A and B are shown apart, each in its own frame.
Chain A
Amino acid sequence: MSDTPVPIPPGEEFPPEQILVGRRAGWILTGFFVLLLAVPPLLDGVPERVRELWTALVGKGSSKPIAERLRVYDSGVASAAFTDAPRALTQQVLTQVLGKGNDRVIPGRDGWLFYRPELQALTGYGPVLPEPHSVSRDPALLDWQAPLEPIREFASQLKERGVALWLVPVPMKPTIYPEMITGSPAAGPVRHRDAAVFFQQLSGAGVKVLDLAPMLWAAKAQDAAEGPVYLKDDTHWTTRGLLKVSAMLAEAVRAQPWWVAPAAADGAWTISRVSSAPGHGDLVEKLGLRHPDAWALPRTEALQLVTPAAGRVYPDPASPLVVLGDSFVNMFDDPGLGFGREGGARTQAGLGWQLAAALGAAPDVHAVNGEGASGVRRWLAQRGESAVRAKKLVIWVIAERDLFLSRSVAKANRINWDHVTFAADPPAAAGAGEGGGISVVEAEVVELAEQADPKRANYENALYTVAWKVRKHLSGPAPAESFEVVHWHFKKRELQPTSRLEVGRVYRLKLEPWASHPELQPVNRAELGEAVPLWWAEAAEALVP
C-alpha cells in the first residue's frame, strides 16, 4: 500500500485558531504554570514520596494487590501537607460566604451542622427494600452484607447462651431536628421508610428494639427551657439527651426479674456537675475550616460526672449487664471525641457511667468509636463461653444510620456487618495479652489491618491491629507463635511511627496486655477480625535485616 497522505475524515478537521501570545509572554506564563505545580511537591519532600512509591510498587508493607496499594499511595499524596492550608482556606470561604459544606457536612439553619451520611441514610435505600445492584457497576459491592442476618445470628447465639439482646438505635440528628434543615416544623420524628418494618423483623428474630425517637422527640418540647437533646455542631447527643436515654434504659433494666439491686448502693457513685473544656463539635472538625472560631465560638457543655467510691470498678467484667456501643456510648467519656475535661483523662460522664450511677452498679461496657456494627460484637464473641454465659442482657447502642445506610453508601463509609461466631473458652495458658506482664520479643510483621486516611477519618485518633510472628523471645511471658498487637495509627490526625510497619520486616516489641490499657479501648480500631487475644505495643524498633 502506498504511503500517500489520506484525507482526515469529515468531522475531524481541526478548527482555525489564532494565537496572539508572544514567545516571551508564553515563556512567562508557562514558567508560572510549571512553578505552581513543581514547588509544592518539592516542599513536600520528593525523596520520601519516591520511597513510598517504591514500597507501594514492590509490595513491602502490605499484603494487598498492587492496584489497592497504588490507591493507598494516591490517598497519601492527596493528603500531603502542602494541601492543608489552601484546603482550609477554601473551605472557610465556601462555608462562611456561601454556606456550603463539604462531602461530609451539610450546614443547616442557625449554625446547626449535619453529618451528610445521616441524610443519605434517611433518604436512601435501606435494609428492607435494598438498593438494586447491577453487577456491571461495582463488583466489590457483592461482598457487602446487609444488617438483618448478622443481627439475627448474633441474637440467636446469645439466646443459646441464655442472654437477651436489646438493640438501641440512636436516632439520627435530622430525625429529631428536621426543622433545622427544612425551616418548617415537622409533625413527628422523620424516620427512614424501612424503620418500622425493619424493627418488626428484628423483634421477630428475638431482638428487643428500644426505639428512642419518640422519647427524644417528646423531650424536644422542653428545649427552650432545658436546651436541645443533640449538639448543634456535633453528630452526638447533649448531656440532656444522654441522661434521658440512660434513665430510660436504667428503668427498663430494673424491671428485669433477674436484676438484683446492689446492697448499699447509696454513695457508691457520686454525681457532680462540671463544664467541659471549651471546644467545637466533630462536625466543625470535619468541615476543616482554617479559623473555626471565626465561624462559631467554642462552647462548653454541662457534664454530669460520675465518680465511683473506693472498691467500685468501672466497667465491671462480672456484671450480668453488658453495654456494647459506639461513639454515642463514648461521648463525654472518651476525650478524643471532644467536650472532655481539662487534662485529657477519661471524662466519666458517658452513657455507661450514667447507667452505673442510675443502677448503683457498673455494667460491663465495651464501646469503640465507629465499630458499633461489628467490632464490639466481635469483642463479646471472643470473651469465651463461660464469660458470655454469665451474662443476662446485652444492651447494644448503635447509631441508627449504620442500620439504614444503602450498601453503596455503607461501603463508602466502611460500615460492615460481619458475621461473628462465639468462641469457646480460651486455653488456661494462652500466653496472651489478656493476662501476664510485659514481654519483649523480636517478631516479623505478617499482616496489617486496613488503615484509614487520617485526614478523612471520622475520629482524630485511631489504632490498628497487626499480625506478628515470633522470631525470638527475649523476656517476659512468651506470646503464642502468631499473635496480634494493637498499635497507634494516628493521634490528633498525625501518623505515628507504628503506622509505617512493613510486612516481612522484623522489629523489637515491648508487649503489654491490651486489657491493661482501658483508656485506649474506646479508640477507633481497624481490626484483622481474627479471634485471638491482643497485645499492645506503643513502639516498634526496626531491626537491621
Chain B
Amino acid sequence: MVFTSHIFIFYFLLVSLAAYYATPGPWRHVVFTLFSYVFYGWWNPWFVLLMGAGTVVDYYCGRIITAPGAGEGQRRFGLLFSIISNLLVLAFFKYAGWAVGTASSVGAFLGLPAFPVPEFIQRIVLPVGISFYVFQSLSYCIDLYRRHAPPAKSLGHFACFVSLYPHLVAGPIVRYSSIAGQLSGRIHTIEAFTMGLARFCLGFCKKIMLADPLGVLADAAFNAGPGSLGTAAAWFGVVAYAFQIYFDFSAYSDMAVGLGRMFGFRIVENFKSPYLAASLTEFWRRWHISLSTFLRDYLYIPLGGNRRGAARTYVNLMMVMVIGGLWHGAATTFLVWGAIHGLMLALERWRGRKPLYGPLPRPLRVALTFVVLLVTWVFFRADHFAMATGYLGVMFAGQGGENPAAILLTQQLFAWPNLLWMAGAALVVWGVPNSQQLLERLTVPKVVACLAGFVISLGLMFAQGYSPFLYFQF
C-alpha cells in the first residue's frame, strides 16, 4: 500500500487508527502488527509469508544468542544463522538476476561460451522494501550478539518491530535498541497525535505538490531516446530528479515519523536539509541518516573504520559506499553511484576531513557539492549503464540534441509552469527550513496550514494521479 493512495488515505489509515485505539493497551502492538501485515500484503499477500518467516528465524536466532549460559560458540551460531539466512533471501530476490546476467556478460567478453540468463531468474519479482526490513531484522541479531540491545520480550514484540508499517518499506531504518522501550509502553496524548498529524500532512504535501510533478519532468528527460535530449534539457532533467528524490524520500520519512507519532511511536529522523551540505562527507550526515549510521556501525567500523591507517580507511570508505550502492539495487548503475560517493569521501578524507573546495565561500561549496551529486544521481536514476553514460555525455560533452524532435522535449521541459515548479522546489530546498525545523515548535496555525495543504494536495492527487515512492523499489 502507498501512503499517497486512495485506499490508504480514505480507508486503511482510519480503520487502523480506530482498531488500534479501540484495543486495550497491552494488545495494541498485536493489532498494529496485524495491520502492518495487511499493509505489506497489499502488494502481494505471498510476500507476507517471506517477512513472517524472516521474523521467526531472527527472533529465535536472538533467543539462541541471548539464552542464559550460552557460550561463545552458540552465540556465534545464532548470529551466523541470522546473517546467512537474511543475506540468502536478499541474494535470491535482489541479486540473482543481476549476478547471473553480469556473469554471462563477463563470460561473453572473455570469449567463454555464452549462457543465457534462465527465464525464472529474470522473472523474480523483488518484494517491496525487502532491503529495509531485512536490514532491520538482521541488525537485531547483531546488536544482541554485541550486547547493544535487549532481547525482544516476545515474538509479538519482535514482529511488531520488524513490520511497523509507517516505516516498513522505505525507512527510516530503525534499530531495535531505539524502539524496544516503546514496544512495551507508549504514551498517547492528543498533543502528540496532533504533532504526528501535522507531520504526516506536511509529508503528503511534499510528495504530491513537489515530488510527483518534478518526477514527470525527470522522467521526460531520462526516458528520452538518443539525440532527443539537448544539454540544457539534460541539466534541467537531472536537477528535477535531484529535487524529486529528495522530496519523495523525505516526504516518505515525514509521513513515517508522523504516522509513528499518531500510533504513539517515535521514529528517528532521516534527513537534515541534505542539499545544504558543503561536501559529500557532510551530505551523508544529512541524507538518509538511518542508512549512513547503519553502514557506519555495521560495516565501516567492523571493517576497521579509520583505526587501521589511512590507506585502509580509504578502502573501507570505498567498500562501504559500493555496498551501500548495491544495497539500493542490483545494477551496475548503483555500483557506480556508490563508487563515486566512496571515492569522494576518500578524497575528502585524504584532504584532512576538509572539503576539496575548502577555500571557497560556503555557498559555492554547497553549489559544487550539488553538482557532484547531480552526476551521481544520473547513475542512480538511469535504467541502464549505457543510458547513464549517454546522459552524462549530453550534460558535459554537448552530445545529443541532433534529433529534430529534441526541440519538442526542450520546450516541453522549459514550459513556464515547469519553471515555476522548479523555482518553488529550489526555494524549498535552499531557502526554507526542513520539516523537522518547521514543526519543532508546533502551533495551531502551523497545524491548520498543514491541513489546508493536505486538502489541496488531495485535489492534486485526484487530478494528477499519484506514483509510488522511489525508495519502494529498494
Say yes or no for A436: interface residue by CB 8 A criterion. Answer: no
Say yes or no for A387: interface residue by CB 8 A criterion. Answer: no
| CB < 8 Å neighbour of A134 from B10, B227, B331 | B331
| CB < 8 Å neighbour of B416 from A99, A136, A142 | A99
> Contact string, B361-404, partner A, CB cutoff 8 A, digits 1/0?
00000000000000000000001101100000000000000011
Q: Which residues from chain B contact A27 at a C-beta distance below 8 Å?
A: 190
Q: Which of A36-44, A257-265, A533-541 contacts B (4 or more CB under 8 A)?
A: A36-44
B407 touches A178 (CB 8 A): yes
Interchain nearest-CB distance for A29 vs B (Å): 5
B147 touches A1 (CB 8 A): yes
Q: Considering residues A83, A94, A123, A125, which has the most beta carbons from chain B within 10 angstroms of its beta carbon? A: A123
Known A-B contacts A89-B459, A103-B216, A136-B331; the reply to A29 vs B123 at CB < 8 A is no
Say yes or no for B349: interface residue by CB 8 A criterion. Answer: no
B150 touches A3 (CB 8 A): yes
Say yes or no for B226: interface residue by CB 8 A criterion. Answer: yes
Main DSSP-derived SS at the B contact region: helix
Known A-B contacts A1-B147, A33-B197, A34-B14; the reply to A12 vs B290 at CB < 8 A is yes
Q: Considering residues B43, B412, B458, which has the most beta carbons from chain A within 10 angstroms of its beta carbon? A: B412
Say yes or no for A91: interface residue by CB 8 A criterion. Answer: yes
B420 touches A1 (CB 8 A): no
Q: Which residues from chain B contact A159 at a C-beta distance below 8 Å?
A: none
Q: How far is the CA of A94 from the CA of B212 in the complex (A)?
A: 15
Q: Which residues from chain A contact B149 at a C-beta distance below 8 Å?
A: 6
Within 8 A of A (CB), among B74-111: 94, 97-98, 101
Say yes or no for A390: interface residue by CB 8 A criterion. Answer: no
Say yes or no for A343: interface residue by CB 8 A criterion. Answer: no
Q: Which of B159-167, B175-183, B304-312 contacts A (4 or more CB under 8 A)?
A: B175-183
Q: Which of A14-22, A220-228, A350-358, A468-476 contacts B (4 or more CB under 8 A)?
A: A14-22
Q: Which residues from chain B contact A123 at a C-beta distance below 8 Å?
A: 220, 224-225, 228-229, 403, 405-406, 408-409
Q: How far is the CA of A181 from the CA of B151 in the complex (A)?
A: 63
Interchain nearest-CB distance for B202 vs A (Å): 13
Q: Which residues from chain B contact A102 at a C-beta distance below 8 Å?
A: 463-465
Number of interface residues of A (CB under 8 A): 91
Q: How far is the CA of A8 from the CA of B148 in the complex (A)?
A: 9
| CB < 8 Å neighbour of A26 from B101, B193, B387 | B193
Q: Which residues from chain A contact B330 at a C-beta distance below 8 Å?
A: 136
Q: Which of B25-33, B53-61, B313-321, B436-444 contacts A (4 or more CB under 8 A)?
A: B436-444
Q: Which residues from chain A contact B44 at a C-beta distance below 8 Å?
A: 66-67
Say yes or no for B157: interface residue by CB 8 A criterion. Answer: no
Say yes or no for A531: interface residue by CB 8 A criterion. Answer: no
A408 touches B225 (CB 8 A): no
Known A-B contacts A21-B194, A29-B448, A91-B463; the reply to A6 vs B384 at CB < 8 A is no
Q: Considering residues A11, A25, A119, which has the most beta carbons from chain B within 10 angstroms of its beta carbon? A: A11
Say yes or no for A10: interface residue by CB 8 A criterion. Answer: yes
Known A-B contacts A9-B297, A17-B195, A87-B462; the reply to A122 vs B408 at CB < 8 A is yes
Q: Which residues from chain B contact A182 at a C-beta distance below 8 Å?
A: 407-408, 411
| CB < 8 Å neighbour of B10 from A37, A86, A99 | A37
> Contact string, A75-111, partner B, CB cutoff 8 A, digits 1/0?
0011010010011111100100011101100100000
Interchain nearest-CB distance for B205 vs A (Å): 14
B455 touches A36 (CB 8 A): yes
Q: How far is the CA of A80 from the CA of B459 in the complex (A)?
A: 13
| CB < 8 Å neighbour of B417 from A26, A32, A100 | A100
Q: Which residues from chain B contact A99 at a C-beta distance below 8 Å?
A: 415-417
Number of interface residues of B (CB under 8 A): 102
Say yes or no for A255: interface residue by CB 8 A criterion. Answer: no
A18 touches B441 (CB 8 A): yes
Interchain nearest-CB distance for A428 vs B (Å): 42
Say yes or no for A272: interface residue by CB 8 A criterion. Answer: no
> Contact string, A181-196, partner B, CB cutoff 8 A, digits 1/0?
1111010101111000
Smallest Cβ-Cβ distance to B43: which chain A residue = A67
Say yes or no for B266: interface residue by CB 8 A criterion. Answer: yes
Smallest Cβ-Cβ distance to A88: which chain B residue = B463
Q: Which of B1-9, B242-250, B275-283 contacts A (4 or more CB under 8 A)?
A: B1-9
| CB < 8 Å neighbour of B383 from A5, A23, A133, A181 | A133
| CB < 8 Å neighbour of A1 from B66, B201, B293 | B66
A193 touches B225 (CB 8 A): yes
Interchain nearest-CB distance for A285 vs B (Å): 14
A19 touches B442 (CB 8 A): yes
A6 touches B417 (CB 8 A): no
Q: Which residues from chain B contact A134 at a C-beta distance below 8 Å?
A: 331, 333, 383-384
For the complex of A and B, list the 7 residue pairs with the smallest distance between their C-beta atoms, beginning with the closest: A132-B384, A87-B462, A90-B459, A26-B190, A90-B463, A67-B44, A11-B293
A-B contact pairs, 7 of them (CB 8 A): A8-B178, A14-B266, A25-B447, A66-B45, A181-B408, A182-B411, A193-B403
Chain A residues near B (Cβ < 8 Å): 1-12, 14-23, 25-27, 29-30, 32-34, 36-38, 40-41, 49, 66-67, 70, 73-74, 77-78, 80, 83, 86-91, 94, 98-100, 102-103, 106, 119-120, 122-126, 129, 131-137, 139, 142, 174, 178, 181-184, 186, 188, 190-193, 288, 406, 408-409
15 further A-B contacts with Cβ under 8 Å, apart from A17-B441, A122-B408, A136-B329, are A8-B178, A12-B268, A19-B191, A19-B194, A41-B11, A67-B44, A103-B464, A119-B408, A122-B405, A123-B225, A123-B229, A123-B409, A132-B386, A134-B333, A409-B223
